[in-house]
Each structure stands twice: as C-alpha cells, then as structure tokens.
C-alpha cells in the first residue's frame, strides 16, 4: 500500500516555462512534506518543505502548495531551467521525526 | 551531501556472501537511516536509529541488520546476500527536527549480487 504517490513518471517542459510536479498521499497522519531532487549517481538533496499548518511555501523559483482536504501537494518551478532536469521525490513524515516515506519519483526534463 | 560518508561506492557480491555497508556522519545527528532505491520504487526505508543503542525496522528490513554503537556510525549488514538485494543504498542523517534541510543523504552505494 503506497502511502505517497507520484503518479506521473515523467514530465517534459520548455525552458522558461512552469514545471508542476504533483504528489498525493493517503495517510492522514502525515503532517510534514518535503521535496528532494536527485541527479544520477548522487544522493538526494533537500529542495523545499511544508508543514501541514501551511498551504504554501516559497523559496526562490520553487513553491510547494499543500491541499490537505484533497491530500495533495504540488511543486511549482518557475521559470524552469535545463539544470532542473533531475528526478524529484516527494516525501512525507509524521510527528517530529525524520523517518520519511517517499514517492516513486518523477523525472523532469527541461528542454532548452 | 556534505557530512554523510558511505563506503564502499560499488560492490559486487556472490549469493550467500556477507558484507557491511559503512555510514558515518560528522554532524552529531541523532537520527540515521538506510534506504534502498530500486527502479520504479522510489526510496524505501530499511532500518533507522534515533540515537546510539536504539534501532528500529523500516518498510523493508528483511535480510539486513543494523547496530548503532556510536552517534557517528550506522553500518548496514547483509548476512547472506541475495540477488533481490541488488540495489542502490543511501544512508541519511538528521537532527530529528521538523526542518527538512536537516536531513542529509550520502552519495549512495551500488550493490550487485550475482
């Protein structure tokens, strides 16, 4: 039973346009959500996070939106750059701990 | 990935062999964990530790042992390797707080079991 779902395996966007990466979750106990970016042959690196008490968090070109009623979050990248091409993982946790449950990831390709 | 060191980077094992993946962090983090990444499966938690002397199972613990004798080290042991354990393994550490940017991953260990 997958508790964090990234249903689209890949996304391709034009440089300069917006990238929207979606994530759904089923466990209502999750109260902290994170996005990680991963390049080939490297470990995941933290990108942005959001607490369940918020519905939006912004950091530069990256914005995460949380819709608790729909158990849905999305990562917006504006404007998209070729260097953003990577695998993006959505992750969730419960309580004040670092035990993360990950989605399967989505491969983003940004075309020059 | 600064602060979390994994060794070895690459390893080939024969079925039935044992080995230990090493993980060390120098950030004095209480929380450490091991994940495996398989194609189309994302990252799955194997074992984790919330401090020295304390370990617990994650989502896919079978075939793996861990121990946490010091804050810095969290080795992952494969007692009898199986082809199903062919994967990329990531060690992570964090302060146990709510801020995601306190969770750091190592660069990964590629393991092939033949």
Q: What is the pLDDT of residue B35?
A: 96
Query: Which residue among A36, A91, A104 sits closest to B41, beta carbon to beta carbon?
Result: A104
Residue recorded with tokens 């998209």: A80
Given a cut of 90, is residue A69 above it in pLDDT? yes
Tell me the pLDDT band of B39, cut-offs 50, 70 and 90: confident
Hey, are the CB atoms on B31 and A48 less than 8 Å from each other? no
Phi, psi of B101 (to 5 degrees): -75, 10
CA nearest to A107 within chain B:
B40
Q: B86 vs B103, which has greater pLDDT? A: B86
- Window 69-88 of B: residues touching A by CB (8 A cutoff) are none
Which of A25-29, A41-45, A72-76, B1-5 shows the lowest mean pLDDT across its residues? B1-5
CA A85 to chain B, closest CA, distance in angstroms equals 17
Range B55-76 average pLDDT: 96
Instruction: Provide the percentage of residues in chain A whose pLDDT is more than 70.
Output: 96
Of B37, B47, B27, nearest to B88 by C-alpha is B37
| A11 pLDDT more than 80 | yes
Q: Over range B8-29, report the average pLDDT.
A: 96
pLDDT of residue B34 exceeding 70, the answer is yes
What are B63's two structure tokens? 């075939």
B107, A42: Cβ pair inside 8 Å? yes
Q: What is the pLDDT of residues A30-64, one digit of tens each?
A: 989 999 999 998 999 999 999 999 999 999 999 99
Inform me whether the pLDDT recorded for B1 exceeds 50: no
Residues of B with Cβ-Cβ distance to A64 under 8 angstroms: none
| B4 close to B23: Cβ distance less than 8 angstroms | yes
Kindly determine whether residue B43 and residue A98, on different chains, have CB atoms separated by under 8 Å.
Answer: no
Instruction: Tell me which residue in B45, B102, B105 faces A43 most closely, judged by beta carbons.
Output: B105
pLDDT confidence of residue A94:
84
Q: Which residues pair with B22 in a beta bridge?
A: B7
A14 interfacial to chain B (CB closer than 8 Å): no
Report residue A97's pLDDT band, with 50, 70 and 90 as the boundaries.
Answer: low
Which DSSP string do the residues of A4-58 spell out, in sequence order? EE----EEEEETTS-EEEEEEE--TT--EEEEEEE-TTS--EEEEEEETT-SEEE
- Cβ neighbours of A7 in B, within 8 Å: none
Q: Does residue A13 surpass a pLDDT of 80? A: yes
pLDDT band per the 50, 70, 90 thresholds, residue A81: very high
Tokens of A76: 């917006």
Nearest-by-Cβ selection for B1 from A6, A42, A91: A42
């Amino acid at each position: 039973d997958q508790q964090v779902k990234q249903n689209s395996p890949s996304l391709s966007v034009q440089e300069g346009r917006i990238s929207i990466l979606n994530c759904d979750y089923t466990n209502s106990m999750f109260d902290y959500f994170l996005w990680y970016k991963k390049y080939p042959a490297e470990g995941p690196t933290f990108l942005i996070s959001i607490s369940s008490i918020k519905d939006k968090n912004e950091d530069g070109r990256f914005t995460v939106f949380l819709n608790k009623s729909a158990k849905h979050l999305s990562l917006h990248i504006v404007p998209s750059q070729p260097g953003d091409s990577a695998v993006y993982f959505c992750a969730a946790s419960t309580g004040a701990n670092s035990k993360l449950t990950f989605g399967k990831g989505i491969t983003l390709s940004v075309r020059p | 990935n600064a602060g979390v060191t994994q060794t070895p980077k690459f390893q080939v094992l024969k079925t039935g062999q044992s080995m230990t993946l090493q993980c060390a962090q120098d950030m004095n983090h209480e929380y450490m964990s091991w994940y495996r990444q398989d194609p189309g499966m994302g990252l799955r938690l194997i074992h984790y530790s919330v401090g020295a002397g304390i370990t617990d199972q994650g989502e896919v613990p079978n075939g793996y042992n861990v121990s946490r004798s010091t804050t810095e080290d969290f080795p992952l042991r494969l007692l009898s390797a199986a082809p199903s354990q062919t994967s990329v393994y990531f060690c992570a550490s964090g302060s146990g707080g709510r801020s995601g940017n306190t969770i750091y991953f190592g660069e990964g260990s590629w393991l092939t079991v033949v």
